[in-house]
Structure 1
Amino acid sequence: MQFIEALNVLSKSSSFAVSTESDRDMGLSRIKSDLYVAMRIEEDFLSLLDKIDENSKKVIFLCGSSGDGKSELMLRAKRLFTQPYIKFHLDATHSFEPHDNAIVTLDKTFKYFEEGNHSLVIGINIGMLGNYAEEAYSPAIQKKLKKYLETKEFSEDFEFINFEDYPKFEITQDGYVSEFVTRILQKITSPSSEIHKIFVKEEAAGLIGPDYLKFVNYRLLCNENIQQVLLELLLKIRLFRSQFVTARTFLDLIYELIAGKDYLFNNLFSCTDNEILEKAIEFDPSRLRTKTIDRFVIGYALNSLSDEFKVFCEVVELELGIQKLKNSNSYIRLFYLLKFLSLGNDYHQKFKDDFTEHLLIRYLEIYRNHKFYNVNTSRSLLRNFYTKELFGALRGYINKKAPYLDDDQFLIAEYDDYQVISYLKLTPDYSAIEKNDQKKGQGSFDVYVKIKDYSEEDDDPKLSFSIDINMFELLNRLKAGYRPSKNDRSVVVVLNEIVNRLLKFANKSNRINFKSYSNEIKFVLEDHRIELGD
């Protein structure tokens, strides 16, 4: 088998993209099996099946999205558990008869289950599960499915294991990890992998042949420092664009990077045939406008770059097989791909700070100190975030027509020449932060705010809401004086919901001022009496 043929196993258009019970090409099947990574969901799923005996009589749903690996896992389970009292329905989106649809097929499967003495294992898309919860012939089945979909609770005879509960990325105390991405990359690129063995046999001839780009790209992908760049980019896409990474889309992504029409770093930011890479285009480093990058672009256009750059290009061609590139954008993408790698005279490191993800680093820092709150180390950092960044941004957004107001003042209305100003003291609620259990794999973190100077009998009103990286970015920009545009529409909707909740408290403050250009009247509520303030 040739290297190019072996790569095709990774493509979403390959007949091997979805596992079936009739995969016939033994060579390609062996490569696909070699790429398989057993994740924790498989351990938990198989453990659940292992507990089934001939008296169990239960239904187990393996739920997820298209392409996340349900079919592969169901097939493996079916091959392992051959007991007659366990029946498998591999894909609940399919029917077995031309005149039946998936709902009718599921109805027949459940009627057979009710009449028999076996347990039933069903692989099902989460959308299909929702449809069946509405259309199942049995009200009892509908009730159990809806209970799970609404509350994540399940009964003793209906159990669910969901890919959604096993996130592909996890923010840890030390950084971030993706066991899924890392292990698949290792499977594709490690010297012991089937693909790598074929690559080694053909490498010498391949690097000087018509498909040399694929050999260069695969060799680039084998570098762990380049894999770290990909992991960081995938995390950004996950956080900023809520893009889920499934096994099928990720393998297809790798195929596009290696087998695309250009070098890997250009394929990374120009491919529109993969749903993950479509989002990567938004993060193309050649779009950055910094002093260092702009100087390089101008110097390249004028052919006036230093000899240092020319020496670097020679090393790149000698060590990586990357020949002279066509434009400055390609070089910037190359510098980005190599940012964690030392090479030659390290000319590319001149751009390292331009490629440093300062916003992401700060976001992860705040996220971690919420998730792993430590009274000795987190309190001071979070105090600065809440008071200087969060509260400052919210106050600036609310007071955009009155930027001169003090820290605890909020503009809540305007009447002719008068502005109605409320007083609220906002502070972090450290106790709630410490008690809160941030959901594993969640792309956002929850903030908790205490509110003082409040007129209701409740002396300790509180406010909590979630902040994702898009909201975090907007808050940072608001603090710097930015005014949202139509491009920020989706995140501004969420911001306005937060502001409206805060203003409900502000409207019940025990201190209200009416301020005009020439006069200010202060009202204070004390002991259920409104008095004029000083």
Structure 2
Amino acid sequence: MTKQEYALQFIENYNEEWAEIGKDFERFLFDDIEASLIKARKLGELVVREIYLKEEMDFPEFANQAEKNMLLKNEGVIDDVIFNALDRIRRMGNSAAHANKKIPFSDALKVHKNLFVICRWFMESYVISPDKEIPEYQDPQFENLDEKVKKLLVEYLPDYINSKEESKEEAPTYVEDIELPTLHNSHLLYQLSKLKESSQEAVEGHQSLSDFKKYLHIKRPIEDMLESHLNESLESTGSNLIFLCGSVGDGKSHLLGYLSSTKPELMKHFTIHNDATESFDPKKNSLDTLAEVLEPFSDDLIESSKEKLILAINLGVLHNFIESRYAEEKYLKLKSYIEEARLFDSGDISSPVEHDTFKLVNFSDYHSFELTEEGPVSSYMTNLFDRITSPNRENPFYLAYEMDKEKYGLNPLLINFQMFSSRSMQQQIIQLIIKTIMKDKILISSRELLNFIHDILVPISLKDMKTGDFVDMLPHLLPNLLFEGGDKSTMLKMLGNQDPIHYRTKELDEKLISLHNSGNYYVYYRDIIFDSSAQEWIGLLEPIENIAFLEKDTKRELSELLIRSSYLYDSHLKDSFKDNVYSDYMKYLFAYNTNKKPSLQNLYFEIEKSIFLWKGSPKKNYLYIDDEGHNIRIAEPLQLKKSAISLDNNEQGVIQRFTTTLFLGFKCEPYETVHKVEMDLPLYEMVVKVLKGYRLNKKDREDSIQFIDFIERLLPYGKQQQEILINDIENQLMFRLDYEDDFQVYSFSRER
């Protein structure tokens, strides 16, 4: 089919006025976006008026345009596709006429296609015969390919000019003496892309760090401990082996690289072996290589060696080495040191003994957060988030944000950075991450944390990043990327389980009902979210018309954004999301790790009561010894006595080294044996549900198998040899069988 002079040329034969407006709209597109969009709005209004005439409907002269469009939809004249196209043209036309903000060229392109879709639908519905064909959509044409137009085409219409420029990095842009490259025409996107796990910046060696990684470096207590051991080793005349243990991606290589870059005079005295990355011989496995590296610290050579070695090693590999034949044959002293440190003991903190040769630094003892009496905090994540958002010239992220904002106005990427810069939002995200770590028992490495920041700030596709229309932005804003990004990473999938839209409280339900009755999202957002850092983006809601005239998916997205934003910012709804069970557990965990046994009293009371509810009890201090589901059940007397367990810890106030689970101890009188049960957050949540009357299902019992095993271990310590109760559940009868020790006979009686 012959190419048209402009996209809407096919309407010339029906209405020359429409065609002229369509031609002006496309002509102004490259020179005056605001004027172009006002033309589009006018043409959209003319088409709507014509639809009323064709349908022989009374034209609502005094209704606003949103009402006119909605009436056509409600009457079944137009479907969601045409309604949404008309609504975007209306919104963008209003923004062009009234709003004092820059409108992205990408939004004008969307309006161009929307206008084509509407006019084609009108012609096919009311004008042309079915056998006539309307030309396919074509990109807007241009008269003079000047530099301004060429730049827009390269950025937004690469297919049209067969250009690959969009995928290339642009030449650096200079701000005074600062050089900042771009990615897809965005300085901020370039900086954030370096946080991705797939980025070259994510690959770290222990020899040195890039300037970018030095900027992101956050000093943590483990750095001071390692540096202290290094200085002690220098003063030693003999050999020294410093174990730097942990998990994959926790920062071992980063820490060594940072010290190598900033303290070369100290590090030059040490050989570094990173077990995760180095191998001398492809024919040797990790244990063979490790045995070769550790040769100077074998039982035969350790006294004469002068070797200074830092061994960065994952705990799993170290455990395998300690259990290997190498350790048994040549490294008994090393093995003894590791075993005495209780490095692999569940529910305990590593406690290496003083040793002339060996030193131990364990990343697994240092979490990404700390415990306090009021609840968990994270100085590491707080400082890391601040490094990315702090408004100063040393921060490449903030400089990139400022440059993009000046160039583009506001788009989803810039709004997300603005949202993430809020202190209240940062702290709420940190609390969300800590809660997820505790609930799902996951380890979040520094590498994963940086990738997470990228994922909650950067929309999935480039076209989503370039819109200035708030309705189009909704799926790509930080609160939604945070809770709906499960396809991006395991971390985001876990965080999605904490999505506040699943909370159901009376206050929350009342607010949502009130929202839909209020008719105005802007006013309602502003009244609920009083956080000053949220007011600029909330202002973007002001042009949105009455709720009644919005498409249902848009209403849902705006309601979900309100709930999630109320959770993340300081708001009048924030207390509605408080999780008292989680808060209680974290306070118990602090008490356990700081030897504050009196603070554990309520926890012991809850667990003791839940033991009888879990297994079943016909009366106080009696526990069923058989399984549920029978009409006749047997119970024994069980007298529990609390035997409090806690950890000694020299730290007070803010606790850096701690366990994330706690152990509780119970005795069965008159025996002195202490039976221990390990309690984590998911098990404690289940205990509280049972205390409130919840009946366990099969999956619950499978998930709580550790607690059930603990109860089973108690049963032999009950008094079933002296007394049992027989409960006839069907007939509601109970009988007692007692053993009379003096006469060595049993007596049988009915309980009343």
Report if TM-score (shorter chain) is over 0.5: yes
TM-score computed with the length of structure 1 as normaliser? 0.81
1:467 is aligned, of 663, 670, 679, to 679
The answer for the alignment partner of 2:204 in structure 1 is 19
The answer for the alignment partner of 1:428 in structure 2 is 642
Structure 1 residue 102 displacement after superposition? 3.9
Structure 1 residue 314 displacement after superposition? 6.8
Structure 1 residue 238 displacement after superposition? 1.0
Q: Any idea what the Cα deviations from partners look like across 1:132-190, whole Å, max 9, x if unmatched?
A: 33557563237624762683356542332110011222332122122222221222222
1:58 is aligned, of 240, 243, 257, to 240
The answer for the alignment partner of 2:500 in structure 1 is 285
2:457 is aligned, of 222, 240, 258, to 258
Letter of the 1:181 counterpart: M
Pair 476,110 (structure 1): closer, same or farther in 2 beyond 3 Å: closer
Does 2:490 align with 1:275? yes
The answer for the alignment partner of 1:226 in structure 2 is 425
Pair 510,172 (structure 1): closer, same or farther in 2 beyond 3 Å: farther
Q: Any idea what the Cα deviations from partners look like across 1:357-388, whole Å, max 9, x if unmatched?
A: 1221232344345455667x737xx24x444x
The answer for the alignment partner of 1:395 in structure 2 is 612
Q: Any idea what the Cα deviations from partners look like across 1:165-220, whole Å, max 9, x if unmatched?
A: 112223321221222222212222223451354145325326626xx222111111
Letter of the 2:417 counterpart: Y
Letter of the 1:68 counterpart: D
Counterpart-to-counterpart distance in 2, 1:91 and 1:371: 32
Pair 103,221 (structure 1): closer, same or farther in 2 beyond 3 Å: same
Letter of the 1:264 counterpart: L
The answer for the alignment partner of 2:223 in structure 1 is 42
Pair 68,515 (structure 1): closer, same or farther in 2 beyond 3 Å: closer
Counterpart-to-counterpart distance in 1, 2:647 and 2:223: 29
Letter of the 2:624 counterpart: L
Pair 17,418 (structure 1): closer, same or farther in 2 beyond 3 Å: closer
Range 478-487 or range 113-122, more displaced: 113-122
Counterpart-to-counterpart distance in 1, 2:496 and 2:692: 27
Counterpart-to-counterpart distance in 2, 1:488 and 1:59: 46
Structure 1 residue 524 displacement after superposition? 5.6
Counterpart-to-counterpart distance in 2, 1:509 and 1:471: 31
Letter of the 2:259 counterpart: A
Structure 2 SS opposite 1:269: helix
Pair 418,19 (structure 1): closer, same or farther in 2 beyond 3 Å: closer
Pair 521,267 (structure 1): closer, same or farther in 2 beyond 3 Å: same
Does 2:624 align with 1:411? yes
Counterpart-to-counterpart distance in 2, 1:55 and 1:199: 51
Pair 503,13 (structure 1): closer, same or farther in 2 beyond 3 Å: same
Does 2:404 align with 1:198? no
1:214 is aligned, of 404, 407, 413, to 413
Contact 1:522 1:532 in 2 (8 A): yes
Segments of structure 1 that go 5 or more residues without pairing to the other structure are none
Structure 1 residue 491 displacement after superposition? 2.7
Letter of the 1:59 counterpart: L
Pair 360,519 (structure 1): closer, same or farther in 2 beyond 3 Å: closer
The answer for the alignment partner of 1:185 in structure 2 is 385
Contact 2:275 2:312 in 1 (8 A): yes
Contact 2:246 2:363 in 1 (8 A): yes
Counterpart-to-counterpart distance in 2, 1:293 and 1:504: 49
Counterpart-to-counterpart distance in 2, 1:137 and 1:427: 46
The answer for the alignment partner of 1:520 in structure 2 is 735
Structure 2 SS opposite 1:512: strand
The answer for the alignment partner of 1:378 in structure 2 is 599
Structure 2 SS opposite 1:466: strand
| Matched ranges for 1:51-130 at <5 A | 51-53=232-234, 55-79=237-261, 80-82=263-265, 85-96=269-280, 101-111=285-295, 117-130=306-319
Segments of structure 2 that go 5 or more residues without pairing to the other structure are 1-179, 181-186, 344-351, 461-475, 545-552, 650-654
Does 2:437 align with 1:238? yes
Structure 1 residue 409 displacement after superposition? 1.5
Counterpart-to-counterpart distance in 2, 1:97 and 1:370: 47
The answer for the alignment partner of 1:175 in structure 2 is 375
1:444 is aligned, of 649, 658, 661, to 661
Counterpart-to-counterpart distance in 2, 1:94 and 1:366: 42
Contact 1:450 1:462 in 2 (8 A): yes
Pair 226,6 (structure 1): closer, same or farther in 2 beyond 3 Å: same
Q: Any idea what the Cα deviations from partners look like across 1:287-308, whole Å, max 9, x if unmatched?
A: 33445555666788xxx43146
Range 510-519 or range 169-178, more displaced: 510-519
Pair 189,504 (structure 1): closer, same or farther in 2 beyond 3 Å: farther
Counterpart-to-counterpart distance in 2, 1:482 and 1:306: 38
- For the aligned residue pairs, the C-alpha RMSD in angstroms reads 3.6
Structure 2 SS opposite 1:176: coil
Counterpart-to-counterpart distance in 1, 2:335 and 2:374: 38
Structure 1 residue 441 displacement after superposition? 2.7
Structure 1 residue 112 displacement after superposition? 6.9
Q: Any idea what the Cα deviations from partners look like across 1:426-461, whole Å, max 9, x if unmatched?
A: 3433xx34x654894322222233433x4xxx3x45
Range 507-516 or range 182-191, more displaced: 507-516
Pair 423,69 (structure 1): closer, same or farther in 2 beyond 3 Å: same
Counterpart-to-counterpart distance in 2, 1:118 and 1:47: 18
| Matched ranges for 1:287-366 at <5 A | 287-291=502-506, 293=508, 304-307=516-519, 309-313=521-525, 319-320=536-537, 326-328=554-556, 331-339=559-567, 341-342=569-570, 349=572, 351-366=573-588
Does 2:358 align with 1:158? yes
Counterpart-to-counterpart distance in 2, 1:386 and 1:533: 35
Pair 513,20 (structure 1): closer, same or farther in 2 beyond 3 Å: closer
Range 39-48 or range 179-188, more displaced: 179-188
Structure 1 residue 69 displacement after superposition? 0.9
Pair 487,21 (structure 1): closer, same or farther in 2 beyond 3 Å: same
Letter of the 2:623 counterpart: F
Structure 1 residue 39 displacement after superposition? 0.7
Contact 2:188 2:401 in 1 (8 A): no
Structure 1 SS opposite 2:248: coil
Structure 2 SS opposite 1:168: strand
Counterpart-to-counterpart distance in 1, 2:721 and 2:591: 31
Q: Any idea what the Cα deviations from partners look like across 1:40-99, whole Å, max 9, x if unmatched?
A: 111100110111237221211211111111111122333425466521224444224555
Pair 144,521 (structure 1): closer, same or farther in 2 beyond 3 Å: same
Counterpart-to-counterpart distance in 1, 2:406 and 2:226: 45
